[in-house]
Each structure stands twice: as structure tokens, then as C-alpha cells.
Amino acid sequence: MSSFDAAARRLHPDAYAREEPTAPVEKKVEKKKKQKKRKAAEPLPAVGDVIAARGLRKGDDAEARGTVTKIKRAKRDDKKSKRGDRVYRIELEGGGSRKTRLTHLDWRLVRKDTKSFLETMRSGAKIVAPMVGGSELAFRLLCRRHGANVAYTPMLEASKFLDDAEFKTQFFQTHVDDKPLVAHFCGNDPKIVGAACKEAARLGADAVDLNLGCPQRVAYAGHYGSYLMKQEDRELVKAIVRAMRRDTPKEVVVCVKIRLMDTQPDTLQLVEDLRDSGAQVVALHGRRRATWHRDGPGARDGPANLDAIRQVKEAVGDSVVIVSNGNVRNCGEAEEALELTKAGGVMSAEGLLNDPALFEDAVCTDVNEERLRKIALALEYLDLVDAHGNPAGYRSIAFHCRRIAKDALDAYDALDELLDGPDVAAARKVLERCRQYCTGEKNYEEDAAKKASAKKRAADRLRTREARKRFEGRMIRKAKREGKALDFYVKQGLDKPSPDDLRKLRSIKDEKARLAAWNAKHRQHCIAFHLSSCKRGDSCAFLHDAVVESADLVSG
């Protein structure tokens, strides 16, 4: 059985239930009935929806897209009434129109009407925040199964989205159950961001979003995220939002995600500028934008200021949809945020990483039952990974399982085994064993040496994050002493070495010359890790893997 079939069996056990053998003819009839039932359950398109189908344009078998502009019921005496009692008028992309009942076409829904999306965002939407390496398709689907009804993609670099087809395919995954979906971009060039939004809309995004909230060092180095919120960049930001609105179809909603400015009037002015430039939704993180002079990149100390979000909402009214972001660790806090801020929707990142069923309010008071609930969620996530993959690889998969089932993994000293595992099957084995300990199917015997090792590994991981911060601080101070831009050295050596780079470096016999060549392009990466092995392991201050950093798996 393939991994996909195995995942499907776990996700849909009813569809694989054994049935008593019947006569061949009866089997055929039963199968036909089931197929008919599934077809009838499919949602029909509404006015404003965008659909796609082969043969939608008469005389052309290629797939075409169009917007449903009118629906009427067929006359009772219509000879074609058996093919459906609804006639759809569809305005085709590129010109022309078509009237059809759709029943004879293998159509699919590409995008719901904008009005429906905006109504969702205004009506207490429960939103999965954009998370680098954290809000991939499998995790979004898990959250949607447990109460979320809107989700953002991970942060996508606009230029890479346009230029790298493999990157686009890997990181912009869509699914019929992953609707509505917001494509979340970072960038500082209006033309490039606008073009990326246009492409995302073509691929089925219901909305496009500009990141003005990311506080990470990569955002500072690339001059995007919260570092575009400075007043001197305001005209650039407005130009980007105008390009997003201009380059995407009118049914695609334009969103922007921001943080609080240093003063309330400045925050309100930013929201109004974004609205006047074409933004229809502004997600406001209730913490101030990061600066290098406020504890460095990634600064997000203290609770979010929800009252500041409320003041913005009161000032702008219904002229733009405000989404509250911050201080949402459980369902009760989500409801409190909506009540306090009067925002249209509420967004969570860290809270959902710890509990993907946060919006469902399913927390158990019994410790053991709560552990079992979290393990079940982690196993369900692995089933979705089997079916849909995770473009960031096993490190991201293990990260999710660690966050979801942390209490059980810590209690049974299984965290290191999970993190060191090579694949999904190994992760599932670890979680299943934890589940058996919880249910009493297996007896857990504490291993003092194993517990001490786990404690040491946890301390090493903490030192890694602290070492990275110190490294960034040194680079900033060095640039300041030399009169260079503060991000000058932070930008140096970010490129991950390619196989060709490594072959060339290995061919350099002189150690000093090899190190100089390495520092010229890859100084932020660990040369020992890439050329042989790094004895420091998790405590190394240099990058071992540039694909996903666990420290960066947070909301933008």
C-alpha cells in the first residue's frame, strides 16, 4: 500500500470499512449510487465565483476560466432539464461568454466571490497567520479541520516566486479544502510584488497580502517586512499596494499585515494610507515594529496591545476590515480579542502551533487526556503530510510535532528521538509509543541518563538561538564602527553553498585560502558542517541548514 493510500485510510476510515460480499451486479449498482451521492454533495458555484473547465469555451478542449455572472432556473418543459435545472452564464477570461448547465463538464471551483471572502473576514473570522516554515498546506488543513476558516501561506519572497518555478510549486500548494486562501508576499519592488500577486491570483488565491510585520533578521537584511514601515519608505509602500490592486483581478482581495508604529497616530495614519492605496483588509499585530535599537531583530517582548487595535478599528470604522493579531493562545482569548477590539477577525500563530484545534475549544482538564488529544492532533498532522507533503522537509515536520505534543514528548523523554528521526514514519513511531504510555498499553520506565541528555540538548538549542543573536549584534556593531549600513555584514554570506561550490572548496588544499573563499560567500554558514562534520552540533552559532530555521518559525 502506498503512503498516500495509507494516509487516506487513516483520514477517511469510513470509506475503507469492510462490507459483506454481494453479487457482482449489486456491487456495481452500489458503486454507482455512491458516486452519484458524492457528485450531488459537491457545492455548486454562486454568482461571482470563478470556475475552470476543459471545453468551457466552445470548440476548444483547453481549460478555460470564467466568472459566473448569472444563474437562472431552466423551464420545466426544457428538453435538457434532465441535464440540470440551473443555467449558468459565464463571462470567459479573454472575452466571450457561455451559457451552460455545467453537468456535462468536469468543472472545478477556482475562487469564491470576493464579497463572500470579505464577509467571512468581517464576521469573526478565525485565521491561521502566515508563518515561515509553519503554515504549509498540511498544517493549514489541520487547523481548518479544527475551527479555522481562513489561512495565509508562509511568507513568499515575491521575486523568487516569479523566477523560481520549483520554489513556486513547492511552497504555493493549494487544495479544494484550503479555501479561502491568502497568498502572503514580501518584497520592496512594486512591479515585482504586483506581478507575483497576479500570478498567485491566477493559481487560485482568494486574496493577496503584503508583509509589513516580519521582524526577523532576514527581513532587515532584505529591507522588507516591518522595516518598510519607516516614514521614509511610506511612498514606496503605497506604490506596492497600488500595484497589488492594479495587477490583480477585482475579485481578489488586497490585504496588508502590519505592526503597531511607535505612536498611535502614526499607526492610524499608516492604516489610512494603506486603505487609500487599495488595501481592503489590514491585519494588525498588537506589538510595535522591531528595530535594531529595540533588542535587535525579532523583538516581540510583552503582551500585545489589543486596546491600540480597538482604537484603530474605531477610527476607521467599516472603511477597511481590521484583523486582530496577538495574545491568542486559546479559544477564550480569541473570543476576548474579538470582543475587545471589535475587529472583523482574529489571527493566531504561536497559539495554533501549540494547539491547531485552538479555535475549537477542545482543551481537556485531565492531564493525561490532554496529552492524548495533542498526540492525536500530531498524528493527524502526519497523515496530512503523507498526503500532501511538507516542502520544508523533516525539520519542519518535527518542529510541528514537537510544538503540538511537547508535554507528552517531554514526559516520556522522546523529544530527542523525534528531532533526530529521518522521516514521517519514525516520527509516527515515536508519537505512537507516547500514546501507548498514556493509555497504559506500555509501561514507561524513566531513564536518568536519557533525561539528562534531553535536558542538555534543550540547553544546547537555547544556546544556539542566543549565539545567533550575539552574532547578529556583533555584525551590527562592526558595521556601525566602520560607518556602513547597519545591515551590511548581516547581508554578507547568506548564500547557501551549492554542490559545485563545495567541490571547488574541497579542491583548495591551503586551509587559510579555503576559509577565505568560504567567508567571501558563505560566512554565516558552518564550513565544518558542509565540508565534514561539526562537533558543536546544535550549539553551533553558524547555519547548518538554510532551508528552515526553527527560530524563524513564527508569525510575520
Residue with cell 505612536: 263
Per the rule left: phi > 0, alpha: psi between -120 and 50, beta: everything else, 280 is: alpha
User: How far, in Å, CA of 84 to CA of 101, rounded?
Assistant: 6
Q: Are 252 and 114 in contact (CB under 8 A)?
A: yes
DSSP 200-257: HHHTT-SEEEEEE---SHHHHHHT-GGGG-SGGGHHHHHHHHHHHHHHS-TTSEEEEE
Percentage of the chain beyond pLDDT 70 is 82
Which range of 36-40, 41-45, 172-176 scores highest in mean pLDDT? It is 172-176
94: Cβ contacts below 8 Å, ≥ 6 apart? 64
Average pLDDT of the residues of the chain: 83
User: How far, in Å, CA of 355 to CA of 378, rounded?
Assistant: 10
* Sequence spans of domains, the chain: 3-39, 50-109, 114-356, 367-439, 470-552
Q: Are 117 and 149 in contact (CB under 8 A)?
A: no
User: How far, in Å, CA of 260 to CA of 201, rounded?
Assistant: 28
Closest to 105 (Cα-Cα) out of 64, 48, 49? 64
Class of domain 114-356: alpha beta
DSSP 51-95: EEEET-STT--SEEEEEEEEEEEPPTT-TTGGG-SEEEEEEETTS
Question: Is the pLDDT reported for residue 63 higher than 50?
Answer: yes
Strands 207-212 and 97-100: unpaired
User: How far, in Å, CA of 10 to CA of 428, rounded?
Assistant: 13
Q: What are the pLDDT digits (tens) for 433-447?
A: 999 999 999 999 887
- Residue 344 C-alpha cell reads as 472583523
Percentage of the chain beyond pLDDT 90 is 47
Q: How far apart are the first and last CA of the chain?
A: 40
Is 214 an annotated catalytic residue?
yes
Q: What are the pLDDT digits (tens) for 184-226?
A: 999 999 999 999 999 999 999 999 999 998 877 677 777 888 8
| Catalytic residue chosen out of the listed positions 214, 255, 331, 526 | 214
Q: What are the pLDDT digits (tens) for 361-391?
A: 778 889 999 999 999 999 999 999 999 999 9
Question: Is the pLDDT reported for residue 82 higher than 80?
Answer: no
pLDDT at 397: 95
In this prediction, residues 530-555 reach a mean pLDDT of: 59
- How far is residue 9 CA from its own chain's centroid? 26
Per the rule left: phi > 0, alpha: psi between -120 and 50, beta: everything else, 147 is: left
Q: What are the pLDDT digits (tens) for 245-299?
A: 999 999 999 999 999 999 999 999 999 999 999 999 999 999 987 654 454 444 4
User: How far, in Å, CA of 414 to CA of 47, rounded?
Assistant: 52
Q: How far is CA 25 from CA 15, 36, 37, 164, 492, in A?
A: 20, 17, 19, 52, 70
